[in-house]
Structure 1
């Protein structure tokens, strides 16, 4: 009888208690020690070293099963348990949005979810969807950020944020403001993409923490920590146009003293192509090398000490197809030839005291030897920067105090620089983030700078964060910004072409006033999809704005402080989605109005689009380890710099788009092969125009006739009354091309 009772008891138990098993994967690889549990209960387990899990004692019926791991997005699935043995597998995706740690908005490492300042974060995975040889091009798929080419010949450019010109954007490397002036135009190309941990973007003034140049926003390029980097990595690709890009890096331990990360980038393009038949290179030829090294020293009590350095050299030229170096600086054959030599040092040292005080420092030396036709431009720029930061928490106050000094040296051979420009700007700043309650945070900040050329400059800011739920955040930011202008380091149009440069009066610092409203929402669906919605509205008002005037006289570029105001305002929306089944997508749009008003007349700013759009769609087929990426952008019409009423070129650009597709195969040995097509629509800006470069057949204006007032005369050889001008540029001249590459990582 006892055996009968035991048999019935086991049968009843087995009828009511089932078993659930399966695997937890990430990118197709097993994930050991991940958590798997039943929502609303204490029943759960962790995966073994092969990613397997097993849960027993489950009752029949519907259950929500959740798999999670630190740094990855939770995944939940609803399943109806009916069988004794049910198999359920998970595939976790790396967290790429709210949970990331950011440092840019407040100079402190905080969760993006907790930051009172809206910060956009982009991981290396984002940039690998459309591989590029430099960070300048990689930013083309960031909503509201546009790499702007400023010259058809030498293809140099800058980065626009929310319609503002490149000089308003401050670019940082590891939080240090060393990419500015000359290097904003010429130095962004040499940062090896494989060394980037993440890129943080703040839209709107940040001068209260970062000083001059952070007027329109800032981009912080954060490099990998040596301890988090792979042992060895390589990334190499070539394109059908003959471009070759090579990234290489490794890390090593130097005894018990330090960890070191070494990386190098080499880019070569030597294939002169003229598809638009104007006898000028469509793309600048380049030979570039960049070497980077970063040390993390091990200290007592885990105090921080890091030191990094980079050397960059580039030889680039563009011009008439028959140009070579023997024509450099002459007027026989036109070419723009630029030699750039640059080095940088960055450091961060935590003082050996009980309080949390860091000394951050950087130094950069930039030497440029260049000719634009027969016009020499020889320039040197040196920037030294140091700041002490004291991070102090008191009750509900998170305080930050800072003392900073910036040394600027600039010299060139232009008539505008009669003597070297040398100045040291001391600064003091303070910031207080106040936790009013669990849902309400308030940040107050102010900065004082003294510039001997312009006197005292005060820049306050305020930020308010309201978090009504764990998945909703509202941020309101307001502040001021300032920018001290160094014209020839920032305005490439002043150096190229035949327009005369006119500088009216002393150029005073620009001042801005900004307000920005941001709403971020995270949406989790029952089907396991995740959506992140990020919407912003902004308004920025400028006084003393310096905007190049191409309109008053088509043969001149006039620079002066605007006797009026300049305004940029707009709306942006980003949606990121993890749709399951290996599909991820993102899309963004920005609508903006950038204008200036002088003497009661409102004018739309030149080379500024009314709207932009970006998107990316990725699909991974796990059984075959194949990933398909489709990326693209869309730009609305811009007002363009034409050369008078007879100029036959369109006064506005068309709506245009660059779209790319890529297929990646990944082996189990961390080896990736990728192939794709860039610019699949084969769009170039010459379509719809009779020409892009004005008078490309006469680049030295030898056959241009002028009247006594200096105006160009229409002649049979020059029916449109034009001079040579390569500044009519708004997009890349490079058409469709195939690329193929290989990545290998040894962890």
Structure 2
């Protein structure tokens, strides 16, 4: 009994000491502060940091944050957000929780910048190594759409699939973009028929931020991410400017215009309208090869979104409409011509795309860290096109549903997320005289457990089971680890499986622009790969500023992969399932530092070793830069 009492006292002391090293809190703001009745709502994205240190973080979607206490006798916590009055609070070391309310600054007469958030950062607390690209970083690139938003990013490459159509694709870990899951506000997007040209469907001025993570993602987001995940956050209707206008003109005659208008209808409802138009009708052939250097593109894009922010219930919904006409080929080609072998070569792609989404969430009042959410999305994509003498018409109808419940076991150190998902994809394709139709139905369930030991250790272990109407049942396990070796040295590791359904023509319709014959040797099987990776991040104080050093290595091994073989026959493309080995090993080292005020410097080096078996021979992946610096 005596030993038990001593053990209990020691345990209580350890727990007390552990909790005394961290401060958790929530940052709120007031909706419609000029009204008599003020509504208190969480403020996501607020900067929270200790004064006179480099320790800081940002609040999550629920306005929550967690910070380790600094080595100071009288620490001062600073909270800031654009358009709101900064707040600073003296914190006692015995204090564990705090709530802060920021007030709108309506009488700003002078702006004094005392601290600048970095354009690119990696959260110190996130178990998944995620690089956040903020609006400040996006402004550094000549960003007209998503495809041009990674020019300052060392991890992501964007290249042309072919010059005739102007299609672009991303590469992550040395693998083509289809192996990276692209999401818009946690909704899978830009797949299927949007694979070839989808990077041009998201204007740069619409984006609030981009999150890039390498390797497998959390199972709550699905089973597809193999090489990584890219999530795009749009501007929010309750936080965007009331009116934003911009225009772009370049030397080749390309014209773009954007208009964004946000309205706060009342203390709970807000809406925003986004409009984009672009036109390039000037034919350019600087190298004199009789082919257009870039396709002629006319695009109209509109997006309307709504948000309701209640005390415990939040919902968002909206719709998008896109219309694009893309023409390429020889200078003398015209869409009015009769197409035959005696006429100039040309391509024309007409796209009409509709999207609608609805997200809703409920936060339980009497149980902390407990919520439930629903995400739905519907997409209709229609493409009428021809590539020379090849006619390709296709239609895609897709539906996505994700139901989530989040809570904890015992205490908030042991949290979990579980739920149900359903995915439907219908493809109707016609290539010349051949029809390629596919109907895909995938229900699934998932469970994800998270363990957090203050800021020292975080573990995410997840598993999901899905049933594919074509390929049957399959299981996706994934694991993520974050361990703080010291306060300034953070180690992360991840491992897991990924799957995807390859749609041969829809995802590769730009290959129809060549004169090669297409041979689908066998029925494509489900693609499957195992990905594992490890990264280490070191923070160093240099001359009063923070130097961030990071290094990572990721290995991807395919159990099955769809192979596009361009080497067997110069007059043909053979498509078949992997018969042999296929793998990717990607190494990267990076250093980031603010050299002087407003001058950030990033140095990076990357090496990709990517090999696949084509025509019974293991060889380097073609058209891939092994080195980048």
- Distance in 2 of aligned mates of 1:479 and 1:245: 42
Of 533, 536, 539, which aligns to 2:555? 539
Q: 1:534, CA displacement in angstroms?
A: 2.2
Of 424, 427, 430, which aligns to 1:410? 427
Aligned: 1:319 with 2:329: yes
With over 3 angstroms needed to count, the CA separation of the structure-2 counterparts of 1:435 and 1:328, relative to structure 1, is farther
Of 366, 369, 372, which aligns to 2:381? 366
5+ long unaligned stretches in structure 2: 1-47, 54-70, 88-99, 103-111
- Distance in 2 of aligned mates of 1:284 and 1:387: 38
State which drifts further: 400-409 or 348-357. 348-357
Q: 1:36, CA displacement in angstroms?
A: 6.8
With over 3 angstroms needed to count, the CA separation of the structure-2 counterparts of 1:51 and 1:352, relative to structure 1, is closer
Aligned: 1:166 with 2:182: no
> 1:190 touches 1:265 (CA, 8 Å); kept in 2?
no
> 1:529 touches 1:580 (CA, 8 Å); kept in 2?
no
Of 423, 447, 452, which aligns to 2:464? 447
With over 3 angstroms needed to count, the CA separation of the structure-2 counterparts of 1:548 and 1:598, relative to structure 1, is closer
SS in 1 for 2:565: coil
Cα-to-partner distance string for 1:578-603 (whole Å, 9 max, x where unaligned): 12333211222210100024697420
Of 517, 539, 544, which aligns to 1:522? 539
- Distance in 1 of aligned mates of 2:72 and 2:101: 20
Task: Considering fraction of residues, name the structure with more strand.
Answer: 2
- The structure with higher relative contact order (CA 8 Å, sep 6+) is 1
Task: Indicate the residue corresponding to 2:116 in structure 1.
Answer: 93
Cα-to-partner distance string for 1:426-446 (whole Å, 9 max, x where unaligned): 011111011356522221111
Task: Indicate the residue corresponding to 2:225 in structure 1.
Answer: 214
Where do residues 414-425 of structure 1 align in structure 2 (5 Å cutoff)? 414=431, 418=435, 420-425=437-442
Aligned: 1:342 with 2:357: no
Q: 1:473, CA displacement in angstroms?
A: 1.1
- Distance in 1 of aligned mates of 2:360 and 2:290: 53
Q: 1:384, CA displacement in angstroms?
A: 0.4
SS in 2 for 1:194: helix
- Distance in 2 of aligned mates of 1:577 and 1:45: 24
Task: Indicate the residue corresponding to 2:403 in structure 1.
Answer: 388
Please give the TM-score of this superposition, normalised by the length of structure 2: 0.79
Task: Indicate the residue corresponding to 2:573 in structure 1.
Answer: 557
Where do residues 75-90 of structure 1 align in structure 2 (5 Å cutoff)? none
Cα-to-partner distance string for 1:34-60 (whole Å, 9 max, x where unaligned): 99779956599999x99999xxxxxxx
Aligned: 1:243 with 2:254: yes
Of 223, 242, 246, which aligns to 1:231? 242
- Distance in 2 of aligned mates of 1:170 and 1:440: 27
> 2:132 touches 2:210 (CA, 8 Å); kept in 1?
yes
Q: 1:255, CA displacement in angstroms?
A: 3.5
With over 3 angstroms needed to count, the CA separation of the structure-2 counterparts of 1:562 and 1:371, relative to structure 1, is same
With over 3 angstroms needed to count, the CA separation of the structure-2 counterparts of 1:126 and 1:313, relative to structure 1, is same
> 2:130 touches 2:211 (CA, 8 Å); kept in 1?
yes
- Distance in 1 of aligned mates of 2:241 and 2:169: 31
Aligned: 1:149 with 2:172: no
Q: 1:548, CA displacement in angstroms?
A: 1.0
SS in 1 for 2:141: coil
- Distance in 2 of aligned mates of 1:52 and 1:357: 32
5+ long unaligned stretches in structure 1: 1-32, 54-68, 72-88, 100-111, 614-747
Task: Indicate the residue corresponding to 2:4 in structure 1.
Answer: none
Task: Indicate the residue corresponding to 1:716 in structure 2.
Answer: none
> 1:472 touches 1:521 (CA, 8 Å); kept in 2?
yes
Please give the TM-score of this superposition, normalised by the length of structure 1: 0.67
Cα-to-partner distance string for 1:614-638 (whole Å, 9 max, x where unaligned): xxxxxxxxxxxxxxxxxxxxxxxxx
SS in 1 for 2:568: coil
Aligned: 1:608 with 2:624: yes
Q: 1:146, CA displacement in angstroms?
A: 1.4
SS in 2 for 1:158: strand
Q: 1:163, CA displacement in angstroms?
A: 1.0
Of 458, 462, 470, which aligns to 2:475? 458
SS in 2 for 1:130: coil
- Distance in 1 of aligned mates of 2:433 and 2:480: 40
SS in 2 for 1:547: strand
Aligned: 1:274 with 2:285: yes
Higher gyration radius (CA): 1
> 1:343 touches 1:364 (CA, 8 Å); kept in 2?
yes
Cα-to-partner distance string for 1:666-691 (whole Å, 9 max, x where unaligned): xxxxxxxxxxxxxxxxxxxxxxxxxx
SS in 1 for 2:175: coil
- Distance in 2 of aligned mates of 1:114 and 1:534: 15
Where do residues 589-628 of structure 1 align in structure 2 (5 Å cutoff)? 589-597=605-613, 601-613=617-629
> 2:223 touches 2:476 (CA, 8 Å); kept in 1?
no
- Distance in 2 of aligned mates of 1:186 and 1:250: 26
Of 138, 149, 167, which aligns to 1:138? 149
- Distance in 2 of aligned mates of 1:495 and 1:446: 39
Aligned residues: 535
